[in-house]
Structure 1
Amino acid sequence: MSEDVYHGDILSKEQGEDEVTLVISIPENLYYFKGHFPSSPVLPGVALTHWVMEYLAEYFEVDPNQFVGLSALKFQIIICPNYEISLHLKKLNSSKYSFSYSSIHGQHASGKVLFK
């Protein structure tokens, strides 16, 4: 039995003062594909937003406990196993960050994260 995998593999990282871009490979055995949907797995939006929060904490040292909400949240194109996606995070000000997921398939998701 294989171990559950909760993150894609980070293939590359470009980091500037107020932004970071991660290229992430999405494995077939990603935990979030289980039951969503068995015959045609799709990465749920809640997993994408969870990753955003984790990477904001890691690269911008934001405190997830200060989370207020999401705005302008859009899910445009589904993400399937074996996709290679790019996550771009940008600090807009001390309490607002933007994110976008994209790949050769197009824009997958985007939004803004607000903190206290």
Structure 2
Amino acid sequence: MNNKVLFPQVDHVEANEDEVVLSLTIPAGLYYFKGHFPQAPILAGVVQVHWVMHYIEQYFDLKIEQYLSVDALKFQVIIAPEYQVKLILKKMSDLKVSFNYSSEHGAHTSGRAVYR
């Protein structure tokens, strides 16, 4: 049995066909914090992008196999354990979705996922 916590807690979702707003709590026991870094854990950028792909597939039905690239990727403010984060996914076209993570700590990460 796998007890690893791999995703944030989803506290609230507002969704329509072109936009999804997820209110997330980043659990202190998240698997990805182990070793990254022990004294001051931060959420790795690759994990943030993985979550974006997961939620895009869930809400917009764009399959990971169709993923082509992430454009205009910017990491601005770290995400730490217990942060309350908002992830906004906006469908820009049938094959492009913008995303951004933000919280009371500022704008964390943004970019555009492009599919084929």
Work out whether the TM-score is over 0.5.
yes
Residue identity matched to 1:59: Y
Q: Which residue of structure 2 lines up, in the alignment, with residue 64 of structure 1? A: 64
Q: Provide structure 1 residue ranges, at least 5 long, that are not aligned to the other structure.
A: none
Which residue identity is paired with 1:60?
Answer: F
The RMSD of aligned alpha carbons is: 1.1
Q: Scaled by the length of structure 2, what TM-score is found?
A: 0.97
Counterpart in the other structure of 1:18? 18
Matched residue count: 115
Supply the distance in 1 between the matched residues of 2:67 and 2:7 (Cα, whole angstroms). Answer: 21
SS of 1:36's partner is coil
* 1:63 to partner: Cα distance: 1.2
Identity %: 47
Counterpart amino acid of residue 68 in structure 1: L
Give CA-to-partner distance per residue, 1:62-103, whole Å, 9 cap, x none: 011011101000000000000000000010001111000000
Query: What secondary structure does 1:87 align onto?
Result: strand
Distance in 2 (CA, whole Å) between partners of 1:114 and 1:53 is 10
1:78 aligns with 2:78: yes
Q: Hey, what does 2:107 align to over in structure 1?
A: 107
TM-score using structure 1 length: 0.97
Runs of 4+ in 1 over 2 A off after TM superposition: none
Gap runs ≥5 in structure 2: none
Partners of 1:17 and 1:70 lie apart in 2 by 21
The one-letter code sitting in structure 2 at the alignment partner of 1:64 is I
CA deviation after TM superposition for structure 1 residue 3, in Å: 2.8
Residues 25-104 of structure 1 aligned to structure 2 (within 5 Å): 25-104=25-104
Aligned residue type for 2:53? M
